[in-house]
Chains A and B, each alone.
Chain A
Amino acid sequence: MATMDFQDMLGKIKDRQWALADIDWDAPGAETLTPEQHARLKPFMSDLMWIENVGARGFAAMAKKAPDETLREIYRYFHAEEQKHANAELALMRRWGMLDGDEIPQPNINVKLVIDFLDKYADDMSLSFLGTVIPMLEVALDGALVKFIMDEIEDPVCQQAFRHINADESRHLAVDFAVMDVLGHAEMRKLLIELVGGWVKPTFLIGVLSYMPLLNKMRDNIVAMGVDEQKLYSALERYRKVGERSEFARRLPMYQIVKLHGTWVVDRGHPYHLLADTLVKVTGRIPRRLLRKDPTWSKEITYTPAA
C-alpha cells in the first residue's frame, strides 16, 4: 500500500467542501418515493443519521489523539463532515415529510448505546484502538447503508446528496486505512502494550457489549427493509480485503481482532450469533429512561442550510 501524503489529502478535503445550501431541497422528485418506501425509510434514515454521529464522535476523539497537526486537522474536518451527512439526511427526511415540526428522530437503542459509550470513553482510548474500530463501523454501517439508499431511492435530490456523502466517505476510508498502515509501523511491543492496556479497562467491555449487537441489529434493519443482508456482509468483507493489502495494518493486533469478529458476523452459522442476537434482544428491553441524556453536541443537528 502506497504511503498517503496527508498534507495533500487535507488540501483535497478543503477543496471539496460542499454545503447544504448547494442543494435545492425543494426541487421536484420527492414524489418518486413510494408510500411503502416512505414508511420503511423513516426509522432507517433516523438510524443512519445517528450512525453518522457515531463516526462524528469517533473522529472527534481521534482528532485529540492524532500524532501531528495535519492529521488532527483532517480528523477535525471528518468530524464536521459526519455532522454534515447527518444534517443532509435530516434535510432529506424533512423533504420527504418525515419530521413532525422541529422533531429530531431518535436512534435505535443499539446506536444510542454506542453513542453513549463513545461520548463517555472515546477520548481515553488510544489511536490504534479508535483507528481500527472506527473504520470497521464506517465500512460496515455507513458504507452498506449509503449504498443501499443510492440503489433503492430514485429521488434526484437524494441521489445528489448521497453522491456528495459517498465522495466524502471514500476519502474518510482512504485516510482510515492509510492511518492503519502508519499505526502498523509501530513496534510490536508498543502495539501489544496498547492492546492489553485497552482491553483490561472495564469500560472497554461496555464498548464491546455495545458494539456487538449493533451490527446484528443493523442486519435486522436491512432485512426489514427487504434488502439482501449480503450487502452488509460485503461491506464487512471490504474491511478485511483492504486491510490485508497492507502488511503493516495486518500487524495491528486490534485489526486482527476486529477482522476476526467480522468473519463471525458474516457467517450466520457461527455460534457467535447466539450471543449477539441475544444481546440485541436484551438491549432492546433496556428502558430509555435508564440511558444517559443525549449529549449536547447531538442537539446541533439541523436541516436548515443557513443558521
Chain B
Amino acid sequence: MTTTSTAPLDVAVIGAGFAGIGAAIRLRQQGITNFAVFERGAAIGGTWRDNTYPGAACDIPSRLYSYSFAPNPNWSHTYSGSGEILGYIESMVAKSGIGSHIRLRHNITGMTFDEDTGLWDISIAGADAVHARAVVLASGPLTEPGYPDIPGLDTFTGHTIHSARWDHDYDFAGKRVAVIGTGASAVQIIPELVEKAAAVKVFQRTPGWVLPRVNRRTGALAKELYRHMPGAETLARQAWFYGHESVALGVVWNTPFTRLVEMVGRAQLRRQVADPWLRRQLTPDFRAGCKRLLMTDDYYPALQRDNCTLITWPIARIAPEGIRTAEGIEHRADCIVFATGFDVSKTGTPLPVTGRDGRVLGDEWRRGAFAYRSVTVSGYPNLFLTFGPNSGPGHNSALVYMESRIDYLVQAIGIILDRDLRILEVRRERQDRYNAAIQRRLGATTWNSGCRSWYLTEDGFNATMYPGFATQYRNQLRRVDLDDYTVVAREPAIARRVAPVA
C-alpha cells in the first residue's frame, strides 16, 4: 500500500462536473464532511466547462436540467446555453460551501481496494496517494473528444478544432470551413458558422431525426414568481418531467408512438426543406430514438444558406488541403471542425480500478459494462458510479437520473459510516439477475432496433441506456436494500488504525 500524508477520507469524489458537485452537495447535506472532490482540470464544470463552442446549449429544458435540491429561478430561456449552465454549477458550489473540498489539477491515475482495511488506495499524478473509505467515481462519459477513424487525419495542414475543445481565438471570417459530423453539437455549431464563415461544407454520414425546439425567453414576472413561490417552480419542473415521461412511449420503445415522433420529424423536414433530394438526404433510415434525437429549428435553414453545402459522399481520406470524398473531389478547407462527439468507452473504465482479489474492472467490462442498478459493481466494495452502465435516458433529463443515483449512493455511504462497515458490496447474483432483466427489456427498445450508435458496442451490446421510464429508474434507487449487499463491519483494530481525523 502506498503511504499517504493524510488520514483517510470518508469519501473521495472523482470529477467536479455536474455529478461530482451534486454528490458533494448531497454528502454535505447529510452531514458527511470528510470528503474531497478530485478534478484533473483547472476548473470545475466537466462537460459544460469543455463544451463552449458557439451555439452550445442543452436540449432538455433548464427547469428540468438542474437539480431539484438546487432550484434556479433565474434561467433566462426554456433551454439554456452552455455558459449559463456552467454559471449554475458554479453558483451551486458557491451557495453550498463545498468549494473548500474541491482539489483542482488532481489527476487520479488509478485506485485499488484493500480488503483488509476496507480502504481505497487512490493514486494521483504528481502528488501523494490518498485513502478513502468510499469512492464516488463521477467521471463523465462525455469527457474525451472523439475523432473519426479517417485515413490521413494527421496530414491536414490547415486549422482543426474539436467541438469539445473550441478555439475561441480562431477567426472564421472569410474562411472555408468543413464540419465533420451532424449530431447534437454539429446542429448547434453549423447555424453559428454559416453566419461567420465564407463557406461551410457539412459532411454527413447518417442523418438524425430533427424535432422542433421552441426556446422562449423567461419573463421577469415568471422569474419573480419562481423566486417567491418555490412551489410554482416545482410545479413547472413536474410538468416538464411528465411531459418528457410521455415521450418515452415513442422514444424508448419501438411502438406506434415512435411513428408519431417520426411524423413530427418528417413534418419539420417538409416545412423547412423544399428540395426533394436534400430532403431525401436528410431523412433518417432508422427508428426515431435509436440515435439521440436532435432538437433544433435552425439547422435545416442553415444548411440551405448559399454559403453552405451538405455533402453525403463517404469520406475517402483527409488530404493536406482538404477532405477527399468518394466521388473523387477534394473539398478544400482552411479549417476542419470535428463535431464528432466523444470517445465514449462502453467497455473500459476511465482509470484503472482494481477491486477485491486483484480483479480489474476494465478487464471485466471488456465485452460490455455491467453494474447493479448502474451504481455498484460486485467485486468492488464501497465504490459508487454516477454514470454507471445502463444509466442513460433517451427521453428525459440526465440530471433526474443523476440525482437518483446520487441520493442512493449518499444513502449507502451513510450506512458505511454509520455502521462502521469495512465492506458494502453488491451480491453477484442480484447484479446478474438485474442485468439479465435489463438486457431482456432493452430488446424492445428503439436503441436496439438496428442502427449503429454510441449507445452500443461493436457487438451491439447496450451498456449505456436504461430501458424504462425515469419514474421507474427513480423508484428502483429510492432505498438501499441491504439484502442486495454483503455487509462486513470493520474490526476494532482496523477501525483504530484508519480512524478518520476528528
Contact = CB atoms under 8 A, between A and B. Distances in A.
A17 interface: yes
Interface string A272-307: 000000000000000000000001110010101111
A190 interface: no
B277 A88 contact: no
Interface string A62-82: 001000010001001100110
B330 A19 contact: yes
For the residues of A in contact with B, the DSSP-based class is helix
B392 interface: no
Contacts of B327: 80-81, 83-84, 87, 300
B326 A296 contact: no
B330 A21 contact: yes
Given A80-B313, A296-B278, A19 B452 contact: no
Given A64-B285, A80-B314, A296-B275, A306 B328 contact: no
Residue from A88, A300, A304 having most chain B Cβ neighbours under 10 A: A300
A21 B319 CA distance: 11
Contacts of B313: 80, 83
Residue from B275, B322, B328, B331 having most chain A Cβ neighbours under 10 A: B328
A73 B314 contact: yes
B329 A302 contact: yes
B239 to A, nearest CB: 40
Contact residues on B (Cβ < 8 Å of other chain), bracket: 20 to 34
A14 B316 CA distance: 7
B317 interface: yes
A20 interface: yes
B192 interface: no
A18 interface: yes
B329 A17 contact: no
A142 B329 CA distance: 21
For the residues of B in contact with A, the DSSP-based class is mixed
Contact of B324 (A19, A64, A304): A19
B326 A17 contact: yes
B328 A84 contact: yes
Nearest to B452: A69
Contacts of B325: 80
Contact of B277 (A14, A64, A295): A295
Nearest to A87: B328
A305 B452 contact: no
B334 interface: no
Contacts of A84: 326-328
A123 B316 CA distance: 25
Contact of B316 (A19, A87, A300, A304): A19
A307 B277 contact: no
Contacts of A295: 276-277
A134 B331 CA distance: 30
18 contacts: A19-B316, A20-B330, A21-B324, A64-B285, A77-B314, A80-B313, A80-B325, A80-B327, A81-B326, A83-B327, A84-B327, A84-B328, A88-B328, A123-B280, A296-B276, A302-B329, A306-B331, A307-B329
User: Lowest 4 CB-CB distances: which A-B pairs, in order?
Assistant: A80-B326, A84-B328, A17-B316, A83-B327
Interface of A: 14, 17-21, 64, 69, 73, 76-77, 80-81, 83-84, 87-88, 123, 295-297, 300, 302, 304-307
Interface of B: 275-278, 280, 285, 313-314, 316-317, 319, 321-322, 324-332, 452
